């Protein structure tokens, strides 16, 4: 009988926690206008704290579902990127690249003040370059935000994610060289992952629009087609040990360039997208090991401070050059605060691909990830509200 009860609890854990997270998210959003994702994270953290059976254990398939959820978000982010905007205003592209490099450098330098190995510092610096597309896009959609600050935040978020993946692949190559000494194998592995992931995403970005036009699919069915394509891309990336996140972002960018747009009704992939986003944030929070939170408080606070300062200062300094104002530059930098969901899944992928120091990084960054998950979306929400680009009505 106890075994049957334990099996029942394990089977019911995820549906119950997701239902609770949804309920708490709706209530706190109505009562205090808190971003729903903050509540999802809080419930996931609570489930991890009480070690709920079936939630914190190694359940097969959950990492794949989480990657599908984030890949859908990255596809949507890519579908909102205007490459021609970079040609008309190259300062935005330059800003994204310079800010990414500066963030990498200052985080690497500050992490040197702590007793961390070089490999760990490089991985931390690469992860801190990224912003969280799931947190930022979810908050922007929730607020129906549109305007100069919102567009800059989305474009800079995409640049940050691309540079973070590139930097982490270079770190992986460096680690393989330092451990095996095989320069050719290390270089081929990193280049193969980057170019093949981009090629796979670009190929689908060309083929799917052709399929849509050939079949004359109705507007309401486009969401289903793109969702299935993202699942296919994620499955293929898993099988070939590529980066599903990079492939999905490329897929969205190329599809947009092929003149295929997601309408407002399709943004977020509807109810299925809401469910997967809910699962993603609860899952990411449940990965937190509370035993590791106390050891990295000073490191986490230091990294949050320098990362935020880097993004804010770069956006403020380049505001006039890129056709904005210092105030909007400040708000743009603050809105890029979230980073945890993308960084954690990116770190998990590199660990699965053989990067052994990745586990140590997860332990070192536990406290930082906790604060970024809970408070990052709230900072984005306040920044977009201050920019007066939100279009929500009182419910």
pLDDT at 120 over 80: yes
Distance between CA atoms of residues 111 and 383, nearest Å: 28
Of 362, 367, 330, residue with least CA distance to 348: 362
Most confident of 138-152, 252-266, 348-362: 138-152
pLDDT at 182 over 90: no
Domain ranges of the chain: 2-386
- State pLDDT tens for residues 207-252: 988 888 777 766 667 788 889 999 999 999 988 888 899 999 999 9
- State pLDDT tens for residues 39-96: 999 998 888 777 666 676 667 788 899 999 999 999 999 988 888 888 888 999 999 9
Asked whether the beta carbons of 364 and 296 are under 8 A apart, the reply is yes
Q: What is each CA distance from 156 to 15, 110, 136, 348, in whole angstroms?
A: 35, 23, 11, 23
Distance between CA atoms of residues 265 and 270, nearest Å: 8
- The share of the chain scoring above pLDDT 70, in percent, equals 87
Distance between CA atoms of residues 277 and 281, nearest Å: 6
pLDDT at 285 over 80: yes
User: What pTM was computed for the model?
Assistant: 0.92
Contacts with 178 (C-beta within 8 Å, 6 or more apart), sequence order: 119
SS3 of 214-235: the string is HHCCCHHHHHHHHHHHHHHHHH
Of the listed ranges 251-265, 274-288, 356-370, the one predicted with least confidence = 251-265
Asked whether the beta carbons of 323 and 99 are under 8 A apart, the reply is no
Confidence band for 138, pLDDT divided at 50, 70 and 90: very high
**Would you state the structure tokens that stand for residue 374, as one six-digit string?**
């809970």
Of 377, 318, 333, 357, residue with least CA distance to 132: 377
Distance between CA atoms of residues 280 and 354, nearest Å: 24
Asked whether the beta carbons of 134 and 71 are under 8 A apart, the reply is no
Query: What one-character-per-residue DSSP string does 36-94 give?
Result: HHHHHHHHHHHHHHTT-TTTSS--TTHHHHHHHHHHHHHHHHHHT--HHHHHH-HHHHH
Q: What is the mean pLDDT of the chain?
A: 86
In the predicted model, what is the mean pLDDT of residues 358-377?
87
Contacts with 25 (C-beta within 8 Å, 6 or more apart), sequence order: 36, 37, 39, 40, 278
The CATH class for the domain spanning 2-386 reads mainly alpha
Q: What is the dihedral of CA 211, 212, 218, 223, to 10 degrees?
A: 100
């Amino acid at each position: 009988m106890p075994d049957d009860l334990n099996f029942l609890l394990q089977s019911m854990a995820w549906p119950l926690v997701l239902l609770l997270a949804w309920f708490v998210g709706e209530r706190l959003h109505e009562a205090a206008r808190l971003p729903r994702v903050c509540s999802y994270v809080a419930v996931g953290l609570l489930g991890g704290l009480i070690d709920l059976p079936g939630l914190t254990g190694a359940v097969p398939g959950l990492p794949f579902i989480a990657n599908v959820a984030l890949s859908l978000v990255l596809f949507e982010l890519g579908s909102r990127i205007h490459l021609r905007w970079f040609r008309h205003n190259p300062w935005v592209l330059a800003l994204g690249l310079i800010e990414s490099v500066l963030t990498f450098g200052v985080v690497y330098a500050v992490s040197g003040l702590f007793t961390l190995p070089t490999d760990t510092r490089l991985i931390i610096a690469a992860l801190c370059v990224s912003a969280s597309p799931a947190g930022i896009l979810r908050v922007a959609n929730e607020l129906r935000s549109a305007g100069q600050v919102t567009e800059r935040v989305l474009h800079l978020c995409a640049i940050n994610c691309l540079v973070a993946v590139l930097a982490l692949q270079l770190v992986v190559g460096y680690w393989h060289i330092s451990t095996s000494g095989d320069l050719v194998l290390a270089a081929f592995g990193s280049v193969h992952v980057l170019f093949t992931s981009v090629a796979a995403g670009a190929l689908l970005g060309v083929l799917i629009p052709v399929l849509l036009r050939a079949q004359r699919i109705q507007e309401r069915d486009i969401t289903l087609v793109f969702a299935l394509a993202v699942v296919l891309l994620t499955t293929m990336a898993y099988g070939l040990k590529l980066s599903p996140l990079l492939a999905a972002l490329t897929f969205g960018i190329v599809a947009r360039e092929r003149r295929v747009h997601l309408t407002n009704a399709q943004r977020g992939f509807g109810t299925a997208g809401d469910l997967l986003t809910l699962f993603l944030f609860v899952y990411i929070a449940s990965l937190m090991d509370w035993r590791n939170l106390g050891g990295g408080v000073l490191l986490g606070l230091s990294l949050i401070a320098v990362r935020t300062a880097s993004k804010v200062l770069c956006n403020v300094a380049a505001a006039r050059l890129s056709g904005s104002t210092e105030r909007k530059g400040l708000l743009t930098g603050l809105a890029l605060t979230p980073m945890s969901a993308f960084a954690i899944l990116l770190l998990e992928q590199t660990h699965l691909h053989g990067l052994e120091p990745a586990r140590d990084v997860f332990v070192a960054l536990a406290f930082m990830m906790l604060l970024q998950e809970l408070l990052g979306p709230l900072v984005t929400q306040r920044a977009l509200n201050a920019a007066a680009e939100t279009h929500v009505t009182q419910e």
